[in-house]
Amino acid sequence: GATLGVLGGGQLGRMFVHAAQALGYGTAVLDADAQSPAGCISHHHIRTGYEDAGGLSELARRCAAVTTEFENVPAGALDTLAASLPVSPAGRCVAIAQDRAAEKAHFVRCGVPVAPHAVIETPEQLAAVSADLLPGILKTARLGYDGKGQARVQTAAELAAAWDALGRVPCVLEKMLPLAHECSVIVARGRDGAIVHLPVQRNLHRDGILAVTEVYEGNLPPAQVRQALTAAQSVAQGLDYVGVLCVEFFVLQDGSLVVNEMAPRPHNSGHYSQNACDVSQFELQVRCMTGLPLVPPRQHSAAIMLNLLGDLWFPPGAADQTTPAWDKVLALPGAHLHLYGKTQAKPGRKMGHLNITAATPEAARATALQAAAILGIEAF
Ligand code: ATP
Ligand code: MG
Ligand code: MG
């Protein structure tokens, strides 16, 4: 059978490998790390860097199509591969998603509202920042994730100091907005332009990291759901995007929607689809890259996803790394545990997630609260 390739061997790559293998494909993972969660379980593990010519040519030789799971894979590597086989998403889309300034410009082109912001690449641009943008969040244009590479600033002096501390790299300053909550949408777009989506997810972040996703009827007002879907579809169409794309939004206290950022791949907030929908975001990724039909996914259960961060392996008072009480969690009906095979837990490190499914939102919430209590996760 055909082999499908993925650049990056993290947990998203691992779950892509599961979905590809379930559909009968072989898999090849390119990741230099011998212990990478996806490389460990793949038919082929090419252990080179993303720009290694030998690694890329081996991947091209083995595979019928290639995708990516890593936020910061060099767009040039995707372009190199695209000379010999189908690559989705395209390097040019990934390049836009990797640069907050280019990403915001794309959102504006699509007519989707963004936070008031300014690009800061020079001392002149820093000096010219309007006081309207303060208090704000200074974010590096590239390489930030999970709230890293960001500083909250109140005044022009704090802004200047923060830019220094970030090494004066190109940044975007965003006005701090009064958030009511956050939501996101996963869309999948095929080579023929056909587009399907998962239900809109309501997300809770803690310390800049996704903590909880809730997806069920009534998780958001219908008007917000419609706006988020329309905006996500314009963002994908405007890029002539092929593949799975996540678009993240802020919902402001006045109910209006502002796009935050996009991820050119399956996303942590879409993990509930593994157990609550008849097609998961990873199966959508496989279908997009191979040109298989994109059927609209149907959610059959109310769902709550709890992220399992490395902190859980170090409960208060424990001297060493411990294993959370999975047996107690798995005694709860509708609890689906996903662990990524990372042996070393670190605070803030994504180790796994727990999907809770139930017949009703109330039952899902009740079970999720029980699971959170067992694990010692802060309530939501
Ligand atoms: P990810 O891991 O999702 O890529 P990131 O590092 O790119 O995260 P952002 O999504 O930019 O970070 O911000 C992280 C979180 O910080 C947001 O989900 C939101 O809770 C908060 N935040 C970011 N920008 C703003 C803003 N302009 N106003 C208010 N809150 C914000
Ligand atoms: Mg981001
Ligand atoms: Mg984000």
How many C-beta atoms surround the C-beta of residue 1 within 10 A? 8
Best CA proximity match to 172, nearest among 117, 230, 131, 115: 117
Centre of ligand 2 to C-alpha 8, Å, is 17
The ranges assigned to domains in the chain are 3-87, 116-175, 179-375
Q: Separation of 308 CA from ligand 1 center, angstroms? A: 19
Atom of ligand 1 nearest to the CA of 260: 10
CATH number belonging to domain 3-87? 3.40.50.20
Is residue 190 part of an annotated ligand binding site? no
**Residues 332, 333, 337, CA angle at the centre, nearest 5°?**
70
Neighbours of 245 (CB within 10 A): 28
- Is the model's pLDDT at 333 over the cut of 90? yes
> What stretches of the chain show up as alpha helix (H) in DSSP?
11-22, 53-62, 75-82, 91-97, 100-109, 123-127, 156-165, 222-238, 273-276, 281-290, 326-330, 361-375
* Fold exhibited by the domain 179-375: D-amino Acid Aminotransferase; Chain A, domain 1 (3.30.470)
Looking at residue 319, what is its pLDDT?
Answer: 83
Residues with CB under 6 Å of ligand 1 are 115, 137, 139, 144-148, 174, 176-177, 179, 182, 205, 208, 260-261
146 is in an annotated binding site: yes
Nearest CA to ligand 1 atom 19: 208
End-to-end CA distance of the chain: 45
Question: What's the CA gap between 9 and 16, in Å, rounded?
Answer: 10
* Residue of 250, 267, 269 to mutate, ligand 1, most atoms within 8 A of C-beta: 250
- Convert the pLDDT of each residue in 206-217 to its tens digit: 988 999 999 999
The response to whether 349 counts as a known ligand-binding position is: no
Q: What is the mean pLDDT of residues 74-98?
A: 96
> Which residues have C-beta within 8 Å of that of residue 63, sequence separation ≥ 6?
2, 3, 4, 5, 28, 85
**Segment 353-375, tens digit of pLDDT:** 999 999 999 999 999 999 999 99
User: Quick one: average pLDDT of 22-43?
Assistant: 97
Residue 67, pLDDT > 80, answer yes
Residue 318 has what pLDDT? Answer: 84
Which atom of ligand 1 lies nearest, measured to the CA of 176? 28
Q: Tell me the pLDDT tens digit for each residue of 260-304.
A: 999 999 999 999 999 999 999 999 999 999 999 999 999 999 999
- pLDDT-derived band at 1 (thresholds 50, 70, 90) equals confident
pLDDT at 341: 96
- From 117, 132, 150, give the residue whose CB has the most ligand 1 atoms within 8 Å, as the site to mutate: 150
Q: Please give the single-letter amino acid code of residue 360.
A: T
For residue 332, give the DSSP letter.
Answer: S
- The confidence score (pLDDT) of residue 130 equals 94
| Residue 206 Cα distances to 63, 145, 309, angstroms | 39, 13, 11
Distance of CA 197 to the CA centre of its chain: 15
**Mean pLDDT score across all residues of the chain:** 96
Say whether 25 counts as a known binding-site residue. Answer: no
Ligand with minimal distance to 209 CA: 1
Res 208: pLDDT = 86
Whether 116-175 and 3-87 are alike in CATH topology: the answer is no
CATH number of 116-175: 3.30.1490.20
Contact 200, 184 (CB under 8 A): yes
CA distance 276 to 334: 10
Is 344 within any annotated ligand binding site?
A: no
Please give the share of the chain, as a percent, with pLDDT higher than 70.
Answer: 100
Note the ligand closest to the C-alpha atom of 149: 1
Q: How many angstroms separate the CA atoms of 38 and 29, rounded?
A: 7
Give this prediction's pTM: 0.96
**Residue 66 is encoded by which pair of tokens?**
């290639």
Q: Which ligand is nearest to the CA of 210?
A: 1
Instruction: Report how far ligand 1's centroid is from the alpha carbon of 208 (Å).
Output: 6
- Asked if the ipTM is above 0.90, the reply is yes
Taking the CA of 138 as reference, the closest ligand is: 1
Residue 100 Cα to ligand 2 middle (Å): 8
Alpha carbon distance 28, 41 (integer Å) = 10
Give residue-wise pLDDT tens across range 93-145.
Answer: 999 999 999 999 999 999 999 999 999 999 999 999 999 999 999 999 998 87
CB 47 within 8 A of CB 56: no
pLDDT of residue 317: 85
Residues by chain with Cβ below 5 Å of ion ligand 2: 261
